[in-house]
Structure 1
Amino acid sequence: MLCPSEDIQYYQPAQEITMDYQMDAVANDSDYDWPHPTKNSTDFVLSGYDVELETKEGVRVSHVSMSVLNSSLTSVFIPLIYIIIFIVGLPTNAMAIWVFLIRIKKKHPASILLANLALADLLFIIWLPMKIHYHFKGNDWTFGEPLCKVLVGFFYGNMYCSTILIAFISVQRYWAVTHPLSHKLTNRVTVCVSVCVWIVVWIMTTPLYLYDQTVKVTKLNITTCHDITRPSQLNFPVGYFLTMGILGYVVPCLVCVVAYPLTFRSLRRSETDSSSSKKKKKAIIFMVIVLVMFLVCFTPSNIMLMVHYSLLSLKIRNHAYSFYIVTLCLGSLNSCLDPFVYYFISDEFREHVKNTLKCRSERSAERMKVSFTPVKTSTLSSSTPTGDSQSGSPPDTPQP
C-alpha cells in the first residue's frame, strides 16, 4: 500500500497545531507553509516531499505516491499482465478442474490436490476483470467498498492457498515415492487436508474484511482500492501481513525446499528397470518445475511484502512500493502457468484434455484405445502360458 511507505505525522487538534506553528515560525523566522488539517480531516496526514494531495478523509498523498498512482506502470503495464492471466488462465484452469473432477474416474491424491490448486487459481481469475478495470481507469475503484474487500481477499487467498497446496503436493510426492504401498490409501486423508487448507485460508484472509480498503483521493478524483491505508489503521495490516508472510510463504517454502530434494534423492537411489525410468524422469522434471515456479512466482512478492511492512513497523521511509506491486502482479502469473505444467508432465491429463477438446466421451475414447491394441494383446497372449487372462484387455471386451 502506498500510504504506509511514507512518513506519518499524527496531528494534534488544529488549534494546537496553529499555535505550535506560529511559535516555530517566530523562533525560526520561517515562511514554510505548514499543511493545516482541513475540516474533513481525521487525526492523520501523510507527509510528502514537495507536493501533497489531500483526500476527503484527511490523507495527504505525497508527490512520490501521486506519481505511482498516475504512472503507466499501474495504469498500462499491470492491467495488461492481468489481461493475459485472465485470457489464458480462465479456460485452462476450468479445463483442469473438469479433467481432474469429471474425466479422471480413478482419483488419486495428486489429482485431488491439483484440482484444489486449479480451483484456487480460478476463484482468483474470475475477479480479475474488476481489477483490470480499476487500473485502466487510473486506479479509480468504482465498485464500492464491499467488492474491493472481496477482491483483496481473493487475491491474497489465492496466493497463500496456492503456496500451502504446493507444499502439501511436495509432501504427497515424497510420501508416494517413499511409501508406495500405502500411497493408494490416502485419498480420504487428502480430501480432509484439502478441506482444512480452505478453512485455514478463509480464516487467514478474514481480517482483510475488517478494515477499510478504499480511500478517496480528492485532488486526483479517484478512489483507491488497497493502495492507500489510513495511518490510524496502520498497526493492524503491518502485523497481519508480516504474520501472513511467515505462515503463508516461509513455512510452505521450507516444506518444499526440504521435501523435493528428499524425494529426488529417494528416486535416484531406487532401482528401476528401463520401463519405469521414463516415469522417474518425468517425476523429477515435475518436481524441478514446481519448485522453480514456486520460488520465482512467490518469493519476490512475499519478500518485498515482509520487507515493506517491516520497514513500516520501524517507521523507516522506503520507496519500493512500485517494485512491490510489480512482484505481486508477476506472481499472479502462477495462476495461468499451472495448467501447462499439468499438461506437459502428465500423460493422463494430456490425453483427457485432447479427448475433451475433440468432444469425445470417456467411453468412446476407451473404445478407440482398445481398437488400436489387438496386435499387442495377441502377441502378449501367444507368448504367455496363461493366454487371455494376461492379455491386458478389459473383461467385457471381446477378443478379436
Structure 2
Amino acid sequence: CSINTSNSTLCPSIDDFRNQVYSTSYSLITVLGLAGNGFALLVLIRTYRPSSPFQVYMLNLAVSDLLCVSTLPMRVVYYVKKGQWNQGDFLCRITTCALYVNLYCSIYFMAAMSVTRFLAIVFPVQNRLMVTAKRARLVCAGIWIFICLASSPFLMFGQKFDPATNKTKCFEPPIGQDVSKVVMLSNLSLVLGFLLPFLIILLCYAGIIHTLLSRTPWTRRQQDTGPKAIRMIIIVLLTFLVSFMPYHVQRSIHIHSLYRTDTSCSEKVVMQKSVVVTLCLAAANSCFDPLLYFFSGESFLSRLSSMHQSRSTRTFNNSVRLNVARTETGVNRQLNATSFIPNTSTSH
C-alpha cells in the first residue's frame, strides 16, 4: 500500500485487481504464445532448407518467445495464490529476468529484420554480398549475449518475505534504497532497449517507403519485395505502438513518480493499475510476433505448403502400401485355400 501524506491514511490496495488481471492475461498469453510460436518453429524446423538472414531472425525470435511463455505459468500460479511464491529464490530471479530478456530480444530481432529488409530493397546489389545467413547468426548470437548481460541486473531481485502479509513475495516493486537501482535500470533500458532500436527501425522504414515510392510501375510489378516490406512495417509498428511503447512510457512515468511526495491516493492507484495493464501488453508481444512469420516472412507460407504437401504425399504412399499389402494378403489366402482343396477326380 502507498501512504497518502496529506491525511496519513492508507491508499486502497490494487492487489485483487492485479492478481485477477495478471493471472488471466498471462494464462491467455501462454496459450496463444505457445500455439503460435510453437507452430512457426515446427514449420521452420520440419522444412529445413538453406536459410536466408530473415529466416534466421524469425527462428531466434520464435525461440525467444517460447522461452518467455514457458516461464509465465509460474507467474500465473503466483497471482492465483494471491501473491504467495513457493518456487524458491532461484526460479524467482530467473522468471523475473526471462520476461525482460524476451522483451528486448524481440525488439532487437525486429530491428535486425528491419535492417535486413532495408538493405534488400534500398541496396539490393550490396545486400547479396553483405547480408548472409552466417552473418545473421553472428548478429543473433551478439543480440543474445548483449541482452542477457544487460538484463542480468534483474537477477538481483529475488524472493522476499513480507511480514505484513506473512507471505513470500516475488515480482514485487522494490522499496527503500532499491528504488535508485530500478530507476537506473529503467533509464538504461529505455534508451538502449527501446529508443535506440526504435529509431533504427523508423529510419529503415523511411528509407524503404521512399525507395518503394520512387520505383516505376514496371519495376514494382517485376519485384515482389514491396508487399512483404509493407506488411512487415505495419506489423512491427503496431507491435511497438500496442506492446512496447505504452509499457516504456508508463514505466518511466511511474518510477519517477516514486520520488514525488505530493501524489494523491487516487493518482497512485491509477498509476499502479496502468502499470499492470501495460506490463500485460508488453508480455503480449509473444502473441504478436507470429504475425511476422505468417504475413511477412520470406517463403514461410511456401514452407507451410510444402510441409502440407509432404504430409499428404506420405499419407498417400502409406495408403498405397497398405492397399498393396492387403491385396497381397488376400491373394496369399486364396492360394493357400486352393492348395488345401481335396482332389475328387477319379483316374482311369
Using the size of structure 1 for normalisation, the TM-score is: 0.70
Aligned length: 308
Residue identity opposite 2:53 in structure 1: P
d(CA) in 2 for partners of 1:280 and 1:115? 22
d(CA) in 1 for partners of 2:127 and 2:300? 20
Once the 2 structures are TM-superposed, how far is the Cα of residue 132 of structure 1 from its aligned partner? 0.7
Q: 1:359 to 1:330 in 2, by over 3 A?
A: farther
Q: Secondary structure at the match of 2:177?
A: helix
Find the counterpart in structure 2 of residue 342 from structure 1.
293
Once the 2 structures are TM-superposed, how far is the Cα of residue 234 of structure 1 from its aligned partner? 2.2
Find the counterpart in structure 2 of residue 165 from structure 1.
109
The aligned runs of 1:10-89 (5 Å cut-off) are 49-51=8-10, 63-64=11-12, 67-69=13-15, 71=16, 73-89=17-33
d(CA) in 2 for partners of 1:313 and 1:359? 61
Find the counterpart in structure 2 of residue 309 from structure 1.
255
Structure 2 contact 54–297 (Cα < 8 Å) conserved:
no
Residue identity opposite 1:298 in structure 2: F
Q: Deviations for 1:366-390, whole angstroms, at most 9, x for unmatched residues?
A: xxxxxxxxxxxxxxxxxxxxxxxxx
d(CA) in 1 for partners of 2:160 and 2:182? 15
Once the 2 structures are TM-superposed, how far is the Cα of residue 130 of structure 1 from its aligned partner? 0.3
d(CA) in 1 for partners of 2:273 and 2:106? 24
d(CA) in 1 for partners of 2:159 and 2:120? 46
d(CA) in 1 for partners of 2:102 and 2:50? 27
Find the counterpart in structure 1 of residue 86 from structure 2.
142
d(CA) in 1 for partners of 2:149 and 2:222? 42
Q: Deviations for 1:55-95, whole angstroms, at most 9, x for unmatched residues?
A: xxxxxxxx44xx112x2x22222211111111111132122
Q: Secondary structure at the match of 1:82?
A: helix
Does residue 1:262 correspond to 2:204, yes or no?
no
Find the counterpart in structure 2 of residue 325 from structure 1.
276
Once the 2 structures are TM-superposed, how far is the Cα of residue 333 of structure 1 from its aligned partner? 1.4
Residue identity opposite 1:204 in structure 2: A
Unaligned residue ranges in structure 1 (runs of 5+): 9-46, 52-62, 366-400
Q: Secondary structure at the match of 1:216?
A: strand
d(CA) in 2 for partners of 1:89 and 1:136? 20
d(CA) in 2 for partners of 1:155 and 1:224? 17
d(CA) in 2 for partners of 1:354 and 1:310? 51
Structure 2 contact 55–298 (Cα < 8 Å) conserved:
no
The aligned runs of 1:1-400 (5 Å cut-off) are 49-51=8-10, 63-64=11-12, 67-69=13-15, 71=16, 73-185=17-129, 186-187=131-132, 188-210=134-156, 212-271=157-216, 272-273=218-219, 275-276=221-222, 279-313=225-259, 317=263, 319=268, 320-346=271-297, 348-356=299-307, 360=311
Report percent identity of matched pairs: 26
Using the size of structure 2 for normalisation, the TM-score is: 0.79
Once the 2 structures are TM-superposed, how far is the Cα of residue 101 of structure 1 from its aligned partner? 4.5
Once the 2 structures are TM-superposed, how far is the Cα of residue 233 of structure 1 from its aligned partner? 2.2
Q: Secondary structure at the match of 2:50?
A: coil
Q: Secondary structure at the match of 1:235?
A: helix
Q: 1:346 to 1:206 in 2, by over 3 A?
A: closer
Q: 1:48 to 1:77 in 2, by over 3 A?
A: farther
Residue identity opposite 2:299 in structure 1: E
| RMSD across aligned positions (CA) | 2.8
Unaligned residue ranges in structure 2 (runs of 5+): 316-348
Structure 1 contact 242–309 (Cα < 8 Å) conserved:
no
Structure 2 contact 54–113 (Cα < 8 Å) conserved:
yes
Q: Secondary structure at the match of 2:169?
A: strand
d(CA) in 1 for partners of 2:298 and 2:180? 50
Residue identity opposite 2:56 in structure 1: I
d(CA) in 1 for partners of 2:233 and 2:86? 42
d(CA) in 2 for partners of 1:179 and 1:6? 58
Structure 1 contact 113–165 (Cα < 8 Å) conserved:
yes
Q: 1:117 to 1:76 in 2, by over 3 A?
A: same
d(CA) in 2 for partners of 1:315 and 1:213? 28
d(CA) in 2 for partners of 1:84 and 1:313? 35
d(CA) in 2 for partners of 1:191 and 1:297? 26
Structure 1 contact 94–122 (Cα < 8 Å) conserved:
yes
Residue identity opposite 1:50 in structure 2: T
Find the counterpart in structure 1 of residue 343 from structure 2.
none
Residue identity opposite 2:167 in structure 1: I
Structure 1 contact 100–112 (Cα < 8 Å) conserved:
no
Q: Which has the higher relative contact order, 1 or 2, with Cα contacts under 8 A spaced 6 or more apart?
A: 2
